Structure 1
Amino acid sequence: MTRYAFPQDLRDAAQLALHQTQAEYEQYATTLPWSAEPMPGWEGDKQLHSGYRSSKPDSPGYTEEQRQQVAAYRARLLELSTQVVTHSFWETLKGNGLFAAHMQLKHVHDAPEPQGEAA
């Protein structure tokens, strides 16, 4: 497998920050009401053979602070995604190498770097 020598700014300032911001946003989203706008709750029909009945309670909608925080996360994610996608490193690759490098970059922080291995 080819190992790519990603520039430090692409690895850390962009990709790692993107992963961290996405994780923070997903964690924050779990604290939000199920609807951004006030909506009445609902209860679905009972499912055949399981007895399961889907439902949602009334949603008060997002507060202004929650709307601002979601907008800030989305703006930061767009900024970081743009940095990753438009980085000059990608111009050095062609064809299948480009796709493979993109996939490798997504997981570059999953495991420790092997010592002494070059790209």
Structure 2
Amino acid sequence: MTDAPTPDDRPFNPHTFPAKLLAAQLELAETYAALHALQERLPWSREPHPGWPEENPERGRQRSGRAASPGWDPADAEQFDKLMARLRELAAFVQGHGHWAECRAHGADMVKARQALKHAPGAVPAPAEDPAALARQDVNTAA
């Protein structure tokens, strides 16, 4: 009779990620995409700004001007702030997860392990049909 290895008998694999770490990485990627989609449609300045005129080229460099910005709508500013706060929370959770200490203790290549997480099944968002839909997602979900 052969003994099947128990989880404790198997060698450590730095690319076997805990479910909560995978879920947090997935939400982190989705939150970043939502933030990016929101930023794409916002004016360049959060506050109203008169902009500045285009200047003459200086030693071969082109300095372009900026058109006036009406500023952000208060609802957009609130959504941006919520997305940024959630992005920071998720990044701190992923970066501070205990899995990384275990990887370090087993001598794993930390760069490869962290990069593998970003591409692991369950940590990669499905392609969005409507990128603007990401910007409208509810940012009040928990990790």
Q: TM-score, normalised by structure 2?
A: 0.64
Alignment partner for residue 105 of structure 1, among 117, 120, 130?
Answer: 117
Q: How many residue pairs end up in the alignment?
A: 107
In structure 1, the gaps of 5 or more residues are 111-119
Separation in 1, partners of 2:57, 2:40: 26
Helix, strand or coil: the match of 1:79?
Answer: helix
Q: CA RMSD in A?
A: 2.3
Separation in 2, partners of 1:92, 1:19: 23
Question: Contact 1:40 / 1:58 at 8 angstroms: preserved in 2?
Answer: yes
Identity %: 36
Structure with higher Rg: it is 2
Question: Contact 1:43 / 1:53 at 8 angstroms: preserved in 2?
Answer: no
Separation in 2, partners of 1:26, 1:87: 25
Superposed CA deviations along residues 19-43 of structure 1, whole A, max 9, x for unmatched, are: 1110111011111110011111222
Structure-1 residue corresponding to 2:129: none
Separation in 2, partners of 1:104, 1:44: 45
> How far does residue 96 in structure 1 lie from its aligned partner after superposition?
5.6
Determine whether 1:20 maps to 2:33: no
Separation in 2, partners of 1:17, 1:71: 17
Structure-2 change in CA distance of 1:62 and 1:97 (3 Å): same
Please identify runs of 4+ aligned residues in structure 1 that moved more than 3 A.
Answer: none
Structure-1 residue corresponding to 2:20: 9
Separation in 2, partners of 1:62, 1:8: 37
User: What amino acid is aligned across from residue 79 of structure 2 in structure 1?
Assistant: Q
In structure 2, the gaps of 5 or more residues are 1-12, 125-143
User: What amino acid is aligned across from residue 115 of structure 2 in structure 1?
Assistant: M
Alignment partner for residue 41 of structure 1, among 51, 75, 86?
Answer: 51
More strand by share: 1
Superposed CA deviations along residues 43-91 of structure 1, whole A, max 9, x for unmatched, are: 222437x9x6723211111121111111100111011111101111111
> How far does residue 3 in structure 1 lie from its aligned partner after superposition?
6.4
Question: Contact 1:21 / 1:77 at 8 angstroms: preserved in 2?
Answer: yes
